[in-house]
Amino acid sequence: MLSIKTPLWNAVLNASCYKLSNMKLAYPLIFFIALSFGCQNKAEKKVNLTPFLNTHFKNTLVNKKFTTEKLIGLTHDESDYVLSNYRLIDTSMAAEWAGNTIKFIDSTHFVSAYQAWCGNDCFRSVFGRYQFIDSLKVRFITDSITRSGDCEAPTVYGGKPPLDLYLVERPDGILQLNHRDDQSHKQ
């Protein structure tokens, strides 16, 4: 074997050994850095299950309670709903009043329920969410339906398509929820 012992060769040999030993350290170091950055906990992305709320449409129903002929969200028939202000002149009337109401609990939730002073009846309640799709169109989403009293049954959750209704004010000042927006003057 021929051996070359020149200062230039020694310098090249030393430099290549130096690079090789640094590479042996560099690969584990690069691997460790990549592993530590790749395994960091990332901020969890929270999924919002409630529908997108259009905040630029004024919600005129918040914290209001109305009487209705039918429960809203129980069925999807084509009937319209007249919303009469729920007012009791005095508390003695509460003991004799029976009927359907809808309460807009906050800016997103409602309860439509049958209320009666006696316990011998079928008490149904619809719990759900609502949102203004535009300035007059309100979307109702039924989350659950409960039955108690004479028609007691297990709670039914979801399963109904959204109900879109148009909020209109009749000429006599009474609010109505209609299936079509062209029925705003229906009496």
What would the pLDDT profile of 117-132 be if each residue is shown by its tens digit?
A: 777 788 999 999 999 9
Residue 44, CA distances (Å) to 41, 47, 48, 121 in order: 8, 9, 12, 48
- Cβ neighbours of residue 139 under 8 Å, at least 6 residues apart? 51, 130, 131, 132, 133, 162, 163, 164
On average, the pLDDT of the chain sits at 75
* Interatomic CA distance for residues 186 and 82, integer angstroms: 10
Would you state the pLDDT for residue 23? 57
Report field, pTM of the whole predicted structure over 0.85: no
The band of 51, judged by pLDDT with boundaries at 50, 70 and 90, is very low
